[in-house]
């Protein structure tokens, strides 16, 4: 089973700042990595697929990069609605599909 480790667990930033979230895989997942955003009481929303492709309707301030074992989600300039929990997910070697433990992005 591929383990995804996200860091940091919590990130405290202010609106307008740049956010950099990390996801590391226990073995290569090539580019088969996705990022999701989840707000309290809501279902997850797909942000990025294939490591670097924005999903439909996702603003350009969200970008993904990386391949193999190290991946990054960058939010170039934080908007108030971006404060949420972010999960990475792999489906390169599956089953099982696995998720990282999440990074909580909170307002500083």
Partner 1 sequence: EVQLVESGGGLVQPGGSLRLSCAASGFTLSSYSMNWVRQAPGKGLEWVSYISSSSGTIYYADSVKGRFTMSRDNAKNSLYLQMNSLRAEDTAVYYCAREDAVANTDYWGQGTLVTVSS
Residues that bind partner 1 (CB under 8 A): 34, 36, 38, 42-46, 49-50, 55-56, 87, 89, 91, 94-102
Q: At closest approach, how far in Å is the CB of 86 from partner 1? A: 11
- Largest Cα separation within the chain, whole Å, is 39
Residues in the chain: 108
Phi first, then psi, for residue 105 (nearest 5°) are -100, 115
Q: At closest approach, how far in Å is the CB of 51 from partner 1? A: 12
Q: At closest approach, how far in Å is the CB of 14 from partner 1? A: 26
Distance CA 67, CA 9 (A): 21
């Amino acid at each position: 089973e591929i383990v995804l480790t996200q860091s940091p667990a919590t990130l405290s930033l202010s609106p307008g700042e740049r956010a950099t979230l990390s996801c590391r895989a226990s073995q290569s997942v090539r580019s088969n990595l996705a990022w999701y955003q989840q707000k309290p009481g809501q279902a997850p929303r797909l942000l990025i697929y294939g490591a670097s492709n924005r999903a439909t309707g996702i603003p350009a301030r969200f970008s993904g990069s990386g391949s193999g074992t190290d991946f990054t989600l960058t939010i170039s300039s934080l908007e108030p609605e971006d404060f949420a929990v972010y999960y990475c997910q792999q489906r390169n070697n599956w089953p099982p599909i696995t998720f990282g433990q999440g990074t909580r992005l909170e307002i500083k």
